[in-house]
Amino acid sequence: MTRYIRFNAFDMNCVAHQSPGLWRHPRDKSWKYKDLDYWQDLARTLERGIFDGIFIADVIGYYDVYKGSNYHAIEQAAQIPVNDPIQLAAPIALATEHLGIGITASTSFEHPYTFARRLATADHHTKGRIGWNIVTSYLESGAKNISQGGLKTHDNRYEIAAEYVEVLYKLFEGSWEEGAVLRDAERGIFTDPTKVHEIGHKGKYFDVPGYHLCEPSPQRTPVLYQAGASGPGKAFAAGHAECVFVAAPTKNLLRAYVADIRQRAAAAGRDPRKMLIYNLTTLIIAETDAKAQQLFEEYQSYASYDGSLVFMSGWSGIDFGQYAPTDELKKVETNAIVSMIEHFGGKDRVWTVEELAKWGGIGGTGPVFVGSPSTIADILQEWVEETDIDGFNLAYAVTPDSFEAAVDLLVPELQKRGVYPTAYRPGTLREKLFGEGPYLPATHPANAYRDIEAVKRRDAEVATPLRQSAGV
């Protein structure tokens, strides 16, 4: 059976996303991020290219590590201004029939009870095409602006995330039974109250005693995405994620990551082949290699040195503004993205600050491939074969040009080679991705919460000895 290469479009409800300075390019339209027709036009292009989905990143907060302020972030529009991603779901769904819509939302900044309603609503409105990218957040500025004072430690954020998703599983999977909604006009019964249950959650971080506010959406739990690449992040992904995003700059790093995450998933009792892994990648495509190289150099002339280091400083927690351009990176433990420092301070290459800024000027921390459709197809097939990756999370240099080139030039080449789909599967996003049912499989930990009354009895049995030992 042919193993298809899969694409997601990586975007954000902001200007230039991960290519700071490219908003100045005369063909870039990212400044239209405020307009729904911009997103609908892009979504139609992606659906024409049989993309799995549009994956919409997000941050709560702003990048203020570089040179100790947010001046350059604001000046370069480095993910500020930025709008709410979940409000894009409905207009994108109205403009398309199949395209998945991945929404990023943090477990650090919103209570799970209210978020469950927002996510279920989006899954209803899109007829089951929603995915949730689970993040724990890394910007101190975000935590300070919602009265948290500052971020919790890296590992502690994943402990909170684990309980957060447990609450959502209880709400999505256990609160409303199958068949609870009757819509029986003759008897005057819309919902059978005996089939709707309080979840009775009382945990270390959250108390959620009551009912889920929404009837079950087409997928119940939307498709679960996760992008953590540190040790705790990989452990979390192995236990919960259906789609995993990584930003490995080299094949060696990517190969090791994919093998590790699949091994961890198997150890958690999950099928490692039912986990789709996408690597962040930027493609510069033109009709010939020479034209593509010329286009790449044109794009580089618009890239912002300060804007790039705004991101690198924010992602790592290291103020690269304090170093000279020729200084070499050192591995430093931070409370931000530990894995990024491991990537760029690893054994594969020694980086200077200037090289880091140039690398991150287009597309962020993933690789940038430049060439004709044939050249790019060769590269992508090579990466899939050598790393066991499933697909690529495509960032843009200039939008919509980068996505249109992928759809109009690259996709036909990949289809000609028989390594890219020519049509969508029917059904919800989960059915399109995995070819099975709309709900999470029985091997997923969410399955343990479908009989919520049994869960509450089990929790009560565990709690009783604890209370007795405490003299309660």
Sequence letter at residue 184: D
Two structure tokens written together for 134:
């689970």
58 is in an annotated binding site: yes
Element (H, E) at 359: helix 353-360
Sequence letter at residue 81: P
Two structure tokens written together for 450:
């479908």
Q: Distance between CA 49 and CA 411 in Å, rounded?
A: 7
User: CA separation (Å) from 313 to 61, 290, 308, 320?
Assistant: 14, 34, 9, 6
Two structure tokens written together for 53:
């989905």
Two structure tokens written together for 37:
């027709």
Dihedral (Cα; 56, 59, 63, 64), 10-degree rounding: 170
197 is in an annotated binding site: no
Q: Distance between CA 439 and CA 447 in Å, rounded?
A: 10
Q: Distance between CA 146 and CA 135 in Å, rounded?
A: 17
Two structure tokens written together for 51:
């993309």
CB atoms within 10 A of CB 382: 11
104 is in an annotated binding site: yes
444 is in an annotated binding site: no
Q: Distance between CA 357 and CA 349 in Å, rounded?
A: 15
Per-position DSSP letters for 256-315, written without gaps between them: HHHHHHHHHHHHTTS-GGGSEEEEEEEEEE-SSHHHHHHHHHHHHTT--HHHHHHHHHHH
Dihedral (Cα; 187, 189, 195, 200), 10-degree rounding: -150
Q: Which of 91, 84, 385 has its CA nearest to residue 254?
A: 385
Which sign, positive or negative, has the C-alpha torsion 183, 188, 194, 198?
Answer: positive
221 is in an annotated binding site: no
Element (H, E) at 91: helix 89-95
Binding-site entries for FMN: 58, 104, 154, 158, 230
Binding-site entries: 58, 104, 154, 158, 230
